[in-house]
Structure 1
Amino acid sequence: MPFHHSASHRPGTKLPTLSSLAQVEQATEALAQALAATAVERDRAGGHAAAERELIRASGLLDLTTPRAYGGWGQSWETFYASLRRIAQADSSLAHLYAFHHLQVATILLYGRPEQHEFFLRHTVERRLFWGNALNPNDKRALAIEDGEGWRISGPKSYCSGSVGSDHLTFSAWHEPSQSLLIGALPSDRAGLSIRADWDAFGQKQTDSGTVIFDQVRLQAHEVLVRPAEVLADLAAQRIDQALALGDAVTAADRGRVAIAVAEAKAVAHRAAVEVSSQIFELTGASATSSRFGLDRFWRNARVHTLHDPIDYKLRDLGRHALTGAFPEPTSYS
């Protein structure tokens, strides 16, 4: 499916060049001074700092950590944190917004595929998008249900920093069959998505944190930064590659980290395979049990495969590691 974006949000005025450390420092200082000028009054008033968001956008600093390959400045995280600290000295609430935007850029880079990096990040630069989040992994009330090639997301997410007034959001939703999180990204004005400005803490008043409500929000397949079981399998494969690249220099701890990643991937894939292959029939009805379709093979094959190297051993290893830090002992099944 081709990727599509809505119309550009921002006018085409030229942003500052931030290719050198001196230019970053200059832009940061100018922004910090502008925010400091109204920080006391705004802290008393609270609410949404729309004008100050535009100052951050106009500074060009939203593109600081986006790789140059996608039109950003590709600056180091050390440079970003120096910029963040200076802005926090002037206004910690707006620094919070600034930081969360860059956290979402990092989330896309971490979880997304190369084509998603291009899709989301190039348009972030070209359209000057300001990202917020609804990721909060501890809030599992928003549920992800597969719907054809995409998903439907329903339920609330709390503590969503930067969500109020954002252009795009990253988010997580709980996937019951695999007992894990789906992570995705989508425009903040997607049909069925509403953002409540209900943050009422006595500090950090202008972080634009709120509650994000998903009401049968349609998520396209290309907006999923990784399906729950797939992301853990991919991460486990990366661990294996990293360990193999060490050759004779590999340590017991290196090997242990690979074993934990594999155990996590197996535990989630096991549950997902059994649950999804069973739910096929709940979605398709009694006629789907006809032998001419052969749909039962998916459950039968998954059930037999998951019984090899029983999952209880992997759960035991994960539990021991979580409680004591101990890595699994090597076995012929490792």
Structure 2
Amino acid sequence: MNAPAKDFSASPQAIAQHLAEQFAQTAAQRDKQGGNPKYERDLIRQSGLLSLSIPQIYGGQGADWSTIFDTIRIIARADSSLAHVYGFHHLLIATVQLFAQPEQYADWFKQTAEQHFFWGNTLNPRDHRTQVQQISAQEFIFHGDKSFCSGSIDSDLLLCSGFNEAGKLLIGVIPTQREGVSFLGDWDNMGQRQTDSGTSHFEQVKVYQHELLLNPGPLSTPYSSLRPLIAQLIFVHLFLGVAEGAFDLAKQTVKDQKAWSTALVKDAVDDPFTQKHFAEFYVRLESVRLLAEKAVQTLQTAWQVGENLTSEQRGEVSIAIATAKIAATEASLYITQNIFQVMGARSTTAKLNIDRFWRNVRTQTLHDPIDYKYQEVGEWILTGKVPTPSFYA
């Protein structure tokens, strides 16, 4: 497998497709192995796609959200673990833009664009085990563990978080190699096996005042509260991409198969039952595509409004994304489970490892309960109330 040539004249979607084709060659095997996909992460670094969401003023490409989500979705068709950590990289860059000011993040963005830095995540607001102690006006100590730290291993910059004695969440950006930071490598779940989503440990890690995101801070304004909605929309495109990848594999497989022995036709593609299954898959996929497109458009509009975004405008984005999230969750689980119905018993062999599509979406769709997305949309329908901003809505 050769490294992709740097062709910045190619569209980001074309570059992502080139990466996806390479990732697909080893995806089944790497899924079994688990662990850190260092080689593949370096291919993403070399591709130039890590600067996609960085504004041009800092040396990035300043792409719109539609382009960014397209690349996540394309990579997810081949490898949802790599799409996950790649998508989170762009989420973390957006987090800094939303929670801080240009004079603080300018150097981080310039470094990322120039040196192809990969960002890692240790922001888990539900895990309170990392505590923060202020030891001077300019210095803080982070100590403790943090779970579900996707993309943390092999990252260059780390978004870290902890709670101070008053219970306030503090978020900072530090070099991953800072003294006291370590990773347990204990991610052993049934899906998303190469996301390095295990435990990070902070052993008296020093974080400086200028590294903390305090202005305007986490979820402090309607605009800064777009952060969780971007995360949810990453999941939408992750699930959609996995479902499309499973659909494409099933379609290619069936084209080479004979129909069932008692069918009235010779080839599987002419079997009306097989045709019905594929029609169901297609309708579900097309529904998610349209809902995702609408959600991206609402996010892009809100992003361009910026600091003047109102709570009502933010609420419109949240409903559009929650609707797409429901559809993407249901469609991806349905398709990745039912492709076996059209491919037959041979598709269940361990060598093919096709169940990885279902395992990956089943694992990632549990990030936050889909029941609460139904509740949010239902409450809005009946009362007009939009979801209250949180790290999950």
TM-score tier by shorter-chain length is 0.5 to 0.7
Normalised to the residue count of structure 2, the TM-score between the two structures is 0.55
- Cα deviation, residue 135, structure 1: 0.1
Match of 1:38 among 5, 26, 45: 26
Provide the C-alpha distance between the structure 2 equivalents of 1:200 and 1:232, rounded to a whole number of angstroms: 30
Name which of 181, 189, 193 aligns with 1:205. Answer: 193
Q: Which amino acid aligns with 1:235?
A: T
Q: 1:40 to 1:109 in 2, by over 3 A?
A: same
Distance in 2, matches of 1:138 and 1:212, equals 14
Of structures 1 and 2, the one with the larger relative CO (CA 8 A, separation 6+) is 2
| Cα displacement (A) at 1:16 | 3.4
Is 2:154 aligned against 1:165? yes
User: 1:172 aligns to what SS in structure 2?
Assistant: strand
Correspondence for 1:17 among 8, 17, 23: 8
Letter in 2 for 1:174: F
CA 46–66 in structure 1, closer or farther in 2 if over 3 Å, else same: same
> Quick one: distance in 2 between partners of 1:237 and 1:44?
41
2:163 equivalent in structure 1: 174
Larger Rg: 1
| C-alpha distance after superposition, 1:17-72 (max 9, x if no partner) | 26xxx521221111111111111111111111111111111111111111111111
Tell me the equivalent position of 1:134.
122
How many residue pairs were aligned? 235
- In 1, distance between residues paired with 2:87 and 2:312? 32
Q: Is the 8 A contact 1:164 1:210 kept in 2?
A: no
* 1:62–1:245 CA distance, 2 compared to 1 (3 A): closer
Matches within 5 A, 1:1-334: 15-17=6-8, 23-148=11-136, 149-177=138-166, 179-226=167-214, 231=217, 235=221
Structure 1's consecutive aligned runs of 4 or more residues displaced over 2 angstroms after TM superposition are 13-16, 230-239, 324-327
TM-superposition CA deviations, 1:116-165 (whole Å, max 9, x none): 22121111111211111000110011011112112111110000000111
Quickly say closer, same or farther: Cα 1:164–1:237, change in 2 above 3 A.
closer
CA contact (8 A) 2:23 2:79 kept: yes
Unaligned runs of 5+ in 2: 226-304, 316-382, 387-393
What letter is aligned with 1:175?
N
1:31 counterpart SS class = helix
Does structure 1 conserve the Cα–Cα contact (< 8 Å) formed by 2:182 and 2:201? Answer: yes
Q: Distance in 2 between matches of 1:128 and 1:214?
A: 25
Identity of aligned residues (%): 42
Q: 1:225 deviation in Å?
A: 1.1
Pair 1:205–1:233, CA change in 2 (3 A)? closer
d(CA) in 2 for partners of 1:238 and 1:29? 32
The 1:214–1:60 alpha-carbon spacing in structure 2 relative to 1, beyond 3 Å, is: same
* 3-state SS of paired residue (2:125): coil
Cα pair distance change 1:134/1:95, threshold 3 Å: same
Cα RMSD of the aligned pairs, angstroms, is 3.1
Given that 2:100 and 2:217 are in contact with CA atoms closer than 8 Å, whether structure 1 keeps it comes out as no
More helix by percentage: 2
